Amino acid sequence: MSIEAPLAPHPDRLLPSDPATRAIARDLYASVKDLPIISPHGHTDPSWFADNQPFPDPATLFIVPDHYIFRLLYSQGVPLEELGVPRIDGGWTETDSRKIWRRFAENVHLLRGTPSRMWLDYAFHEVLGITERLSAANADRVYDQIDAQLKRPEFLPRALFERFNIEALATTEDPLDDLRHHKTIRASGWGGKVVTAFRPDNVVDPEHPRFTTDLPELGRITGRGVGTWQGYLAALRDRRRYFIEQGGATSTDHGHPTAHTENLGQEDAAALYARIAGGGGSAHDAERFRGQMLTEMARMSMNDGLVMQIHPGALRSQNPAVTNVFGEAKGDDWPSRTEYVRALKPLLNAFGNERDLTIILFTLDESTYAREIAPLAGHYPALRIGPAWWFHDSPEGMRRFREQVTETAGFYNTVGFNDDTRAFFSIPARHDLSRRIDCGFLGRLVSEHRLDRDEAFAVAKDLAYNLAKTAYRL
């Protein structure tokens, strides 16, 4: 039997290379590494925790659903069908999980230097006990080891939730979801805290592919007349209340193409909605309507207390050769240039000074951190800055985030870390990475005599735990 290179993540990984600074960072990291995880925004499947069934085989768990992984292999010419990604037309795609795993193992070197590699190494070594680095030569052996582990009771979703020391986890559902899995979790008597988040894009974005079918369904399930502006708003308020009562929701999430907002008078808003609902709105109308709905969502949050998250600036489904065959969220999404100061002014004029409202801004346009987002959050009581997101949820992205926002907005206008993941096994890996990067940043401030040591320990705990728990009202 061949012996592959050992898999043994270094205990000082991601900490500063300067010995004096690294020593401080080590002490800081030791103080926060075992804190409970607050995972306030993500896309894990609530049915995992409702049904508590074993996770599937390694390929179905780690490769088939993970666009971080298969987009890089696709970029090097590996067909998505060979990685088990299903086609929307039902055409051939590999269903033999072992073959999918072997194909991945042949190309695992493509992940070198990426956060995906670090997340996988953590999951394989720290969670699953794998001690050799995956390669084409040992693909079957590693597959068998992982597959055997997944069948054990201690690897059931609820057991892992507790092992990962997750205190609270939020999933994300659209307004038409009946939240049956959340109801099952709550009725089961299990102590794990899993809540939902309200993601209304499919019924507030006229250019969403499901808008025309989902809008009437919103009316049907609420019994509201969504043919009128007031009936439509009442239906959305009903669903928000349902998400709070049945799913424990504490937040909303909005993935609009831009951060544009409007604050129209109700007559003008009603006229705009009439064009939209009637199917006659233009692209300009759609942008104005999305902007108006961000302001309406803030208005509703003033009443029901839900925290708003705005995730703008993703150009989604840009490659029709992928989207038309495999559907959305298959790795063909890009960051885009996004403006915030002028775009958010109508919303902020209306609600930016409210102390009881929390609006968390995210960006994929890093050029806006120091120029726009940090100055805005450093002024308006309602604004907070979400952590580095998606393409920038990486060691260098996290460092850039701290360097660009801290001087203007401080630490306490940020909200700690959220993992924003579909991959359950990556949650502890992502939080560990974030804690290491933050402790390295704080260690540098201490070593440069810009922050006292006792203050750094307090900030480290806040970044790892307190800020997320407070901001998301968990």
pLDDT, mean of each 10-residue run, the chain (474 residues): 81 97 98 98 98 97 95 97 97 98 98 97 97 97 98 98 98 98 97 98 96 98 98 98 98 98 98 95 97 98 98 93 93 95 98 98 98 98 98 97 98 97 97 98 98 98 98 98
> Residue 280 has what pLDDT?
87
Rounded Cα distance, 250 and 306, in Å: 5
> Residue 3 has what pLDDT?
62
Q: For 100-134, how does the pLDDT look when each residue is reduced to its tens digit (9 = 90+)?
A: 999 999 999 999 999 999 999 999 999 999 999 99
- pTM (predicted TM-score): 0.97
Strand order across the beta sheet in which 166-170 lies: 37-39, 166-170, 194-195
Q: Which residue, 421, 422, 427, is CA-closest to 122? A: 427
- Terminal C-alpha separation, the chain: 50
Domain boundaries in the chain?
Answer: 54-155, 157-471
- Judged by DSSP in three states, 361 sits in strand
Strand pairing class (307-310; 314-315): unpaired
7 backbone dihedrals φ, ψ, rounded to 5° = -105, 105
> Residue 329 has what pLDDT?
87
Rounded Cα distance, 358 and 102, in Å: 46
> Residue 2 has what pLDDT?
54
Kindly give, in sequence order, each residue whose CB lies less than 8 Å from that of residue 202, ignoring residues fewer than 6 positions away.
Answer: 174, 175, 176, 208, 210, 211, 214
Q: For 67-89, how does the pLDDT look when each residue is reduced to its tens digit (9 = 90+)?
A: 999 999 999 999 999 999 999 99
Q: How many residues comprise the chain?
A: 474
Q: Which fold has domain 54-155?
A: uronate isomerase, domain 2, chain A (1.10.2020)
CATH number for 157-471: choose from 3.40.50.300, 3.40.1260.10, 3.20.20.140, 1.10.10.60: 3.20.20.140
> Residue 350 has what pLDDT?
98
> Residue 4 has what pLDDT?
76
Amino acid at 26: R
What is the b/e burial string over 147-170, where b = at least 16 CB atoms within 10 angstroms of the residue's CB?
A: bebbeeeebbbbebbeebebbbbb
